[in-house]
Amino acid sequence: MRTNQTQEEKNLVGFSRVEKLHPYKTFLFFALLGSTIIFLALAFLYSLKIVEISGIENFQMPRAFIVSTILLLLSSMSISKVVDNYNSDSFSAIKNTLGVTLFLAVLFTISQVIGWKVMFDAGYFINGQTGISFIYLISGLHLMHVICGIGFIIYLLTGVQKNSNDIVKSLLFFTDNYQKTKLELATIYWHFVDILWLGLFLMFLFTF
């Protein structure tokens, strides 16, 4: 009986933590949860289909995907500093951090496209073998998440630039919790995108 009560108490604590989250963080939490479920379902279908395919034993993961993985890891390391930069009241550090993250994210996007081109030139088409089609589909869906993140980073970078150029707004910027929340949301989202791609990349890598 005591065990059941303890478990119920733990569940209540878990729900109370979610309730205490900022509304935007709550929305992001459920959005990322939904994305995770979608990618898990696609990964499961991919694992089922790939074992049924023959004739692609010579398939090699494009080196561009390896490069893109490194770029995304570096971008995740970069954006992890942005909240600390905000706490240090440094506009220049925030802009530099977001700028570097944006630059690496764009390079990641280019690298992904190059990887698809390498696959296409090698004769592996999106409407070909089912397993290969899933690589295009899953990596393309992930890239859509990255592009959404790029848009949000551009929005943040533009906002920081405008606030830093306005004397009044610059004084209020570092006392506005909403500004900090937006930077935290960007950091959480970008770490999610990074971890997600790392898992997908390893799945693709060890499949062949």
Instruction: Find the range with the poorest average confidence among 126-140, 143-157, 158-172.
Output: 126-140
Q: Which CATH architecture has domain 2-207?
A: Up-down Bundle (1.20)
Looking at residue 112, what is its pLDDT? 96
Q: Where do the structural domains in the chain lie, given as residue ranges?
A: 2-207
Is the model's pLDDT at 191 over the cut of 60?
yes
146 in Cβ contact with 109 (< 8 Å)? yes
- Average of per-residue pLDDT values in the chain: 87
How far apart (Å, rounded) are the C-alpha atoms in residues 45 and 138? Answer: 11
DSSP for 3-34? HHHHHHHHHHHHHHHHHHS-HHHHHHHHHHHH
Is the model's pLDDT at 91 over the cut of 70?
yes
How far apart (Å, rounded) are the C-alpha atoms in residues 90 and 118? Answer: 42
Looking at residue 54, what is its pLDDT? 53
32 in Cβ contact with 189 (< 8 Å)? yes
Look at 140 and 46; give whichever has higher pLDDT.
Answer: 140
Q: Which residues contact 47 (CB under 8 A, 6 or more apart)?
A: 203, 207
How far apart (Å, rounded) are the C-alpha atoms in residues 149 and 102? Answer: 9
pTM of the full predicted structure? Answer: 0.86
Minimal CA–CA distance to 197: which of 83, 72, 107?
A: 72
Looking at residue 144, what is its pLDDT? 97
Minimal CA–CA distance to 68: which of 183, 146, 155?
A: 146
